[in-house]
Amino acid sequence: MYEYAFLAIVVIAAAGYFLGRSRAVAVSPQGRGVGLHSLPAYYGAYVALWVGLPVLVLVLIWLSLQGPAVDQLLLASLPEELLAGKGEGEIDLIVSEIKSIAGGRIFGEPDRAVLDAAESYNRWHDIADMAMLVVVLAGALGALVLTRSRIAAGFRARHGVERILTWLMIFCSVVAILTTLGIIFSLLFESFRFFARVPFYEFLFGLNWEPQIPIRKDQVAGLGAFGAIPVFLGTILIAFIAMLVAGPVGLLSAIYLAEYASPRFRGAVKPILEILAGIPTVVYGFFAVLTVAPALRDFGDMIGLDIAPNSALVAGAVMGIMIIPFISSLSDDAFAAVPQAMRDASYGLGATQSETILSVLIPAALPGIVGGFLLAVSRAIGETMIVVMAAGLIANLTANPFEAVTTVTVQIVTLLIGDTEFDSPKTLAAFALGLVLFTATLILNIVALRIVRKYREKYE
């Protein structure tokens, strides 16, 4: 039904454009659009915008509220005996059964009351859809008549159109703020619900993470263990290994590309390194599982080391490969920002290239390099797919890179796949982890950008 609503809006707005334009031409003092305040097209656009936009906003609001409203209606209409003595979870189950029957998927022999409810659910949706269509048509046509009647020779249509466009652009710019607010509020809101059940200090400082335990409400110790320290440590361990791989490789390649390489070599190699950043992370995850993990295991067997199939080493090393281009291009930028005069001065004193790099360029570019490293760390902490596929699922309090550890992002994904009951601490725990992740990466990014910016001011 909503397709028809959108279609109707587009058609009526287009009609509004032509009606407005022709009306403007008709009322123009010298005829054929001459002597108007604005060009005729602006009158058309003015009518079209006033016809289309308010109704479009109305439809979007309607569509986003219709589902919840009908759900409330449904819940209120369910007969008492169906709900008597049932908990929140069971009621949710009944509601989802009604919805699936309403969608035409009937399993087994449902209750008479449930079938009736499904029928009225469908009926309400039909009524709401029809009502929306009627409101859209009435609103659009009303706006069309109203705005068209305002058109006169002296009417400042261009100013009107430009004002609307400005507000539209401002609204689009605000989307970024709304997104950030949405992230912060959804994380905070769900986390508060989580901390209402699991104490804050237990989450931040507990040493035992076993969120998968709680299944039934009546179970003894129905709460899982939500001590997130092992998860945090696992994240840090994997990010550390990743930096151990990516740091030296990225920095050394940046040094070579910035200082030694011929322009042709640089032009050929830089894009190749950048390919590494463009490969989807799910591919790295598969690469880790398919190639790197068995290879490392065989190597471990050869030298008598016991390496777990999901070791932190594998996940970290592959993640390191992924962030090499990140570090190399940021360090490259930092080197490029060092003025040539400083290099020339160093060579003038008789220093070799490597001496210049070590004692002039690196100290001068250090803030930029450090900033780049911090950005890479935040990337590594937030990276999901590689660790979901290659790291472990079970929280393990260890610093041994050959053992399996788990990370914040792995836990978020495993807690939320296939389970979106919003009242179990298990699901809410994922949001608490998300809050920690968001805060940590945000702080790292702010610090990194501060460092990079401060450094830049030096030479400008």
Partner 1 sequence: MSNQTMDVRAGSLLDKTDAASRRVRRRHAANRRMQAYGLGAIGFAVLLLGILIGSLIWSGGQAFFQTRIDFTVHVDPAKINRDDLYRSNWRAIVQDSFMELFPDVDNPRERRAAAGILSSGAPYVLRDRVISDPELIGQTIRVSLPASDPIDQFNKGVITRDVPEDQRIVTDQVIAWYDRLEAEGRFSTPVNWSLITEADSRFPEMAGLSGAITGSFYALLVCFLISFPVGIASAVYLEEFAPKNRFTDLIEVNINNLAAVPSVVFGLLGLAVFLQFFGLPRSAPLVGGMVLSLMTLPTIIIATRSALKAVPPSIREAAFGVGASRHQVVIHHVIPLAMPGAMTGTIIGLAQALGETAPLLLIGMNAFITSDPGGLMDPATALPTQIFIWADSPERGFVARTSAAILVLIGFLISMNLIAVLLRQRFQRKW
30 binding partner 1? (CB under 8 A): no
The number of C-alpha atoms within 13 Å of 41 and in the hemisphere containing its C-beta is 1
- Residue 257 sits in the site that holds partner 1 (CB under 8 A): yes
**434: burial class by Cβ within 10 Å (0-12, 13-18, 19+)?**
buried
Q: Using CB under 8 A, which residues numbered 316 to 345 contact partner 1?
A: 321, 324-325, 328
Rounded to whole angstroms, the Cα distance separating 411 from 437 reads 11
Q: Positive or negative CA dihedral for 126, 127, 128, 133?
A: positive
For partner 1, give the closer residue by CB, 11 or 279.
Answer: 279
Query: Which residues on neighbouring strands pair with residue 209, listed in sequence order?
Result: 226
Q: Per the structure block, which two tokens stand in for 169?
A: 């652009």
Shortest distance, position 292 Cβ to partner 1, whole Å = 9
Q: Is 100 in the site for partner 1 (CB under 8 A)?
A: no
Contact residue for partner 1 among 332, 333, 383, 403 (CB under 8 A): 383
Q: Which is nearer to partner 1, 144 or 435 (CB)?
A: 435
The Cα 218–Cα 85 span in angstroms is 16
**Of positions 287, 326, 335, 455, contacts partner 1 by CB under 8 A:** 287
Q: Is residue 108 a contact point for partner 1 (CB under 8 A)?
A: no
DSSP SS3 for 210: strand
Instruction: Give the nearest distance from C-beta 402 to partner 1 in angstroms.
Output: 21
CA angle 24, 28, 34 (to 5 degrees): 105
Q: Which of 76, 220, 275, 341 binds partner 1 (CB under 8 A)?
A: 275
Stretch that binds partner 1, among 12-20, 26-34, 177-185, 335-343 (CB under 8 A): 177-185
Q: State which of residues 84, 177, 220, 341 lies at the interface with partner 1 (CB under 8 A).
A: 177
Q: Which one of residues 29, 30, 32, 64 is an interface residue with partner 1 (CB under 8 A)?
A: 64
**Which of 311, 329, 378, 424 is in the footprint of partner 1 by CB under 8 A?**
378
Count CB-CB contacts under 10 A for residue 176: 9
CB contact burial 140-169 (16+ within 10 A = b; e otherwise): bbebbeebbeebeeebebbebbeeeeeeee
Q: Could you say whether residue 187 binds partner 1 (CB under 8 A)?
A: yes
199 binds partner 1 per the rule CB under 8 A = no
Both tokens of 321, joined, read 């490969």
Q: Could you say which DSSP state residue 394 is in?
A: S
Q: Using the rule CB under 8 A, which residue among 1, 127, 282, 399 binds partner 1?
A: 282
Shortest distance (Å) from residue 25 CB to partner 1: 20
Residue from 357, 361, 369, 377 touching partner 1 (CB under 8 A): that is: 357
Count of residues interacting with partner 1 (CB under 8 A): 91
Among 10, 90, 179, 345, indicate the residue that binds partner 1 (CB under 8 A). Answer: 179
Helix, coil or strand: residue 311: strand
Closest CA to 315 of 412, 380, 376: 380
Q: Which of residues 40-59 bind partner 1 (CB under 8 A)?
A: none
Residue 385 sits in the site that holds partner 1 (CB under 8 A) = yes
Closest separation between CB of residue 210 and partner 1, Å? 21
Binders of partner 1 among residues 430 to 449 (CB under 8 A) are: 430-431, 434, 437-438, 441-442, 445, 449
The answer to whether 23 and 3 are in contact (CB under 8 A) is no
User: What DSSP string describes 251-273?
Assistant: HHHHHIIIII--HHHHHHHHHHH
Does residue 83 touch partner 1 according to CB under 8 A?
Answer: no
| Smallest distance from partner 1 to CB 218, Å | 26
Answer yes or no whether residue 154 interacts with partner 1 by CB under 8 A. no
Cβ closer to partner 1: 198 or 452? 452
Sole binder of partner 1 in the list 104, 108, 348, 350 (CB under 8 A):
350
Q: Does 7 bind partner 1 (CB under 8 A)?
A: no
- Of positions 84, 170, 220, 341, contacts partner 1 by CB under 8 A: 170
Which pair of structure tokens corresponds to residue 114?
Answer: 């449930």
Cα distances (Å, whole numbers) of residue 247 to 117, 226, 281, 329, 382: 61, 33, 19, 12, 17
Using the rule CB under 8 A, which residue among 279, 305, 349, 399 binds partner 1? 279
Residue 158 touches partner 1, criterion: CB under 8 A: yes
The Cα 271–Cα 279 span in angstroms is 13
Alpha carbons 91 and 86: distance in angstroms, whole number? 7
Segments of 180-316 assigned E as strands: 209-210, 225-226
Among 8, 56, 71, 92, binds partner 1 (CB under 8 A): 71
- List 14, 27, 413, 447, residue binding partner 1 (CB under 8 A): 413
- The encoded tokens of residue 406 equal 């788990």
Instruction: Compute the least distance from the CB of residue 134 to partner 1, in Å.
Output: 23
Check: CB of residue 12 under 8 Å from CB of residue 141.
yes
Using CB under 8 A as the binding rule, whether residue 269 contacts partner 1 is answered as yes
The tokens describing 426, both together, are 């298990």
Pick the binder of partner 1 from 142, 248, 309, 339 (CB under 8 A): 248
- Cβ-Cβ contacts under 8 Å for 23 (sequence gap 6 or more): 43, 148, 151
